[in-house]
């Protein structure tokens, strides 16, 4: 059985590879992609019998793939979300595996594909979900690397993101700083806007990290964040009105 994995988190990708190769001798992993773009490109030139597909990818949500290309393979969604997305899958009879993936559930999904059940969803069944989920799928965690180590940082443990000298840093509530691969422009699209706000071109702040807001003589707002920042953090003039509305929700 040819399996294609669409997953943007290295640890989750490696775990799924391990589970598949160690439990199913007849499975061949024929490809891996970490983005909508890479998945579409691969599917344009290759085929698979079964696709394991994460909801949230580095450049969008997986349902965008089905808007761009016809997918005839069987599809199983892998997701860390246990709220609205699961409801959508159940309503539409979509198979999904909740992360961390359970070996028994994985075996059931593979067995279902082997039986070639007509009820097992293919790409066409996912198109309606794109509209339902594209505005509500937010990142739950970030993977950071320290040498050979990989650490998982939950979103609720992030105080803010800072861009400095063309490098993006994630700063935790415990004042730990990590380099992340995404730009602030990309990160902004992945975060819940009720929880995080893009104060300027250099900062995205968690509402819980804002200790004090001061009006600056320039008309901007100066923020005091926790943990403290190395440089002053301002809300740009053009964002002041939106910021005040955001903190008053």
End-to-end CA distance of the chain: 51
Residue 106 to residue 11: CA distance in whole angstroms = 17
pTM above the 0.95 mark? no
Q: Where are the domains of the chain?
A: 2-133, 141-247
> How big is the chain, counted in residues?
249
pLDDT in tens, the chain (249 residues): 999 999 988 888 999 999 999 999 999 999 999 988 899 999 999 999 899 998 888 777 788 888 788 888 888 888 776 554 555 455 444 567 887 888 888 998 888 878 765 555 555 555 555 554 444 568 888 888 888 788 899 999 999 999 999 899 999 999 999 999 888 988 888 898 999 999 999 999 999 999 999 988 777 899 999 999 999 999 988 889 899 999 987
Contacts of 223 (CB under 8 A, 6+ apart): 199, 205, 210, 212, 213, 214, 233, 234, 235
Strand partners, 152: 143
Domain 141-247: which topology?
A: OB fold (Dihydrolipoamide Acetyltransferase, E2P) (2.40.50)
Asked if residue 160 lies in contact with residue 184, where contact means CB atoms within 8 angstroms, the answer is no
Residue 197 to residue 200: CA distance in whole angstroms = 9
Yes or no: is domain 2-133 CATH 3.40.50.2300? yes
| Cα 137 → chain centroid | 8
């Amino acid at each position: 059985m040819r399996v294609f994995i669409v997953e943007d988190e290295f640890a989750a990708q490696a775990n799924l590879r391990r589970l598949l190769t160690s439990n199913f001798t007849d499975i061949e992993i024929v490809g891996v992609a970490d983005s909508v773009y890479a998945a579409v490109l691969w599917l344009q030139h290759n085929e698979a019998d079964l696709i394991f597909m994460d909801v949230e990818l580095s450049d969008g949500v997986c349902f965008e793939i089905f808007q761009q290309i016809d997918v005839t393979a069987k599809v199983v969604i892998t997701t860390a979300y246990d709220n609205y997305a699961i409801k959508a899958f159940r309503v539409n009879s979509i198979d999904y595996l909740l992360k961390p993936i359970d070996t028994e559930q994985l075996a059931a999904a593979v067995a279902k594909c082997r039986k070639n059940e007509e009820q097992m969803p293919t790409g066409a069944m996912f198109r309606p979900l794109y509209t339902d989920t594209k505005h509500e799928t937010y990142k739950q965690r970030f993977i950071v690397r320290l040498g050979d180590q990989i650490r998982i940082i939950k979103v609720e443990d992030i105080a803010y993101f800072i861009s400095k000298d063309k490098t993006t840093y994630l700063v935790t509530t415990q004042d730990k700083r990590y380099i992340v691969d995404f730009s602030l422009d990309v990160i902004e699209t992945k975060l819940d806007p009720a929880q995080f706000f893009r104060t300027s071109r250099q900062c995205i702040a968690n509402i819980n990290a804002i200790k004090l807001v001061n009006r600056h003589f320039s008309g901007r707002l100066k923020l005091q964040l926790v943990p403290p920042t190395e440089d002053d953090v301002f809300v740009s003039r053009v964002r002041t009105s939106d910021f005040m509305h955001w903190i008053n929700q």
